[in-house]
C-alpha cells in the first residue's frame, strides 16, 4: 500500500464515487469517522488530485489516471527534458572518440615505451588494453594470496575476455593455493576456460596483450606508483620469452619431488642454502614471514639439522635439491592489491 493514502482514504474515495453530494456528516456516519476527520481526508484526496471540489456541498471523484496526469505530469515532463539533455551531452562527449583513438595511435607509434603514473591511470590503460585485445592475454602474478576485493573485481573481466574468445594464461605463485579465496578464483578461471599454472618463484608482475603490448610495474616493490606500457616489438618479444620460460617450467598439476617436497619447499631450501634471510625468502615465495619460518622449522626437523643454514646444506648434500649459485633465485615483488591486469 502506498504511503500517500490508507484504507480509510480508499473507503472515502469509493463513497465519493457512489454518492458525490454526501455531506461531511453523512460520510462520517457511514465511515464511522468524525466529520472533521472526513474534511481532512477529503482535502488530502484533493491534494492527490483524486477529488475535485465543485461547490460547497459537492465533491467529484477523479479517475486515478487523470489524477496521475495532473499530479505527476510536470515532473514527468521535467524528467523527459532531463533525459534528452543527458543524451545530447553524451553525444557531444562521444563525438570525441575518433580524436581520442587517433591521438592514442599517434602516441603509441611515437613512443615505444609509455610511462603511466598513478594507480588510477594504470587501471584506465589496462581496462582499455583488455577491451581492445583480440587473441590472448598472458599474465604473471607474483605475491601469493590475492585480496578478496581484487579477486572479485578481476573475475568478471576475465570471464568477459574468455567469452570474446580471448585465450587467457595466468601464472601464479604456488603459495596462492594456500589461500582459500585465491584458490577459488583459480578454480573459477579454469572452469571458465583459462589456463592456470603455479610456480614457486616469479620475477615480476607482467601482462602481455596479443603478444604485441606488455605492461610491467614502474616499481616492482610498489605497483601503485605506476607502470610501463611497452610497444617496442623487440622488448615485447623479450618479455614474451620470459613468460614462456616460466610457463614452460611448470604445469597445472605438477608432481611433487621424490622426497615429497613441494616446489615452494624446494625453493625455500635453495634460498636457505644460499644463506638468505627469512624476510627475503618470505617475500620471494609470497608467504608471510611467520608461515615461512614454520616451513623452515619443519624442513629443518625433517633433515635432522641443527640450524636453518645447516638444513639448506644438508638438503643439497642429501640430493633433496640441486645446488645453485648463491643469489641465483630471482626476486619477486610483494603482493599487490590487483589480482592481474587482464
**DSSP annotation string for 217-255:** ESSTT-GGGEEEEE--HHHHHHHHHHHHHHHHT--TTPP
- 174-187 pLDDT, tens digit each: 888 888 888 888 88
47 by Cβ neighbours in 10 Å (0-12 / 13-18 / 19+) ranks as exposed
Instruction: Please choose, from the candidates 261, 303, 300, 264, the residue with its C-alpha nearest in 3D space to the C-alpha of residue 284.
Output: 264
Per-residue pLDDT reduced to its tens digit, 37-55: 888 888 888 888 888 887 7
How much is the pLDDT for 104?
A: 61
Per-residue pLDDT of 140-163, as tens digits, reads: 988 777 777 777 778 888 888 888
Most confident of 60-69, 171-180, 207-216: 207-216
The helix (H) or strand (E) run that includes residue 170 is strand 167-173
- Are 120 and 310 in contact by the 8 Å Cβ rule? The answer is no
87-101, 147-161, 263-277, 322-336: the lowest-pLDDT one: 322-336
What is residue 331's predicted lDDT score, i.e. its pLDDT? Answer: 42
Asked whether the predicted pLDDT for residue 107 surpasses 60, the reply is no
Q: What is the pLDDT of residue 212?
A: 93
**Please, which residues have CB within 8 angstroms of residue 87's CB and are 6 or more apart in sequence?**
none
Distances (CA, A) of 154 to 162, 226, 332: 12, 19, 21
How many residues comprise the chain?
342
Backbone angles phi, psi at 339, to 5 degrees: -70, -65
Task: Return d(Cα 122, Cα 214) in angstroms, integer.
Answer: 13
Using a cut of 0.75, tell me whether the model's pTM lies above it: no
pLDDT at 235: 92
- Name the β-bridge partners of 139: 170, 207
- Residue holding cell 644438508? 314
Kind of pairing, strands 213-217 and 206-209?
antiparallel
Amino acid at each position: 500500500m502506498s504511503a500517500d493514502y490508507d484504507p480509510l482514504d480508499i473507503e472515502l474515495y469509493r463513497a465519493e464515487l457512489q454518492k458525490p453530494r454526501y455531506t461531511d456528516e453523512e460520510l462520517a456516519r457511514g465511515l464511522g469517522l468524525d466529520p472533521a476527520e472526513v474534511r481532512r481526508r477529503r482535502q488530502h484526496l484533493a491534494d492527490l488530485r483524486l477529488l475535485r471540489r465543485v461547490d460547497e456541498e459537492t465533491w467529484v471523484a477523479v479517475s486515478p489516471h487523470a489524477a496521475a496526469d495532473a499530479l505527476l505530469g510536470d515532473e514527468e515532463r521535467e524528467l523527459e527534458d532531463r533525459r534528452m539533455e543527458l543524451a545530447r551531452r553524451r553525444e557531444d562527449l562521444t563525438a570525441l572518440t575518433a580524436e581520442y583513438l587517433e591521438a592514442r595511435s599517434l602516441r603509441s607509434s611515437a613512443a615505444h615505451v609509455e610511462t603511466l603514473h598513478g594507480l588510477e591511470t594504470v587501471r584506465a590503460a589496462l581496462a582499455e588494453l583488455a577491451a581492445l585485445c583480440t587473441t590472448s592475454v598472458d599474465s604473471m602474478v607474483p605475491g601469493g594470496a590475492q585480496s578478496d576485493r581484487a579477486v572479485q573485481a578481476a573475475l568478471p573481466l576475465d570471464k568477459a575476455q574468455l567469452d570474446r574468445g580471448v585465450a587467457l594464461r595466468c601464472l601464479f605463485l604456488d603459495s596462492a593455493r594456500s589461500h582459500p579465496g585465491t584458490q577459488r578464483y583459480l578454480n573459477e578461471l579454469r572452469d571458465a576456460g583459462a589456463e592456470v599454472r603455479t610456480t614457486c618463484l616469479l620475477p615480476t608482475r607482467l601482462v602481455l596483450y596479443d603478444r604485441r603490448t606488455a605492461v610491467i610495474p614502474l616499481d616492482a616493490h610498489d605497483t601503485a606508483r605506476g607502470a610501463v606500457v611497452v610497444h617496442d616489438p623487440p622488448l615485447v618479444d623479450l618479455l614474451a620469452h620470459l613468460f614462456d620460460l616460466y610457463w614452460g617450467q611448470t604445469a597445472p598439476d605438477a608432481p611433487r619431488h621424490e622426497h615429497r617436497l613441494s616446489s615452494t619447499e624446494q625453493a625455500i631450501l635453495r634460498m636457505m642454502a644460499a644463506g638468505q634471510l627469512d624476510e627475503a625468502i618470505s617475500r620471494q615465495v609470497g608467504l608471510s614471514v611467520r608461515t615461512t619460518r614454520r616451513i623452515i622449522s619443519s624442513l629443518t626437523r625433517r633433515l635432522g639439522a641443527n640450524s636453518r643454514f645447516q638444513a639448506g646444506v644438508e638438503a643439497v648434500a642429501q640430493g633433496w635439491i640441486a645446488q645453485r649459485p648463491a643469489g641465483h633465485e630471482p626476486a619477486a615483488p610483494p603482493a599487490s592489491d590487483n589480482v592481474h591486469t587482464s
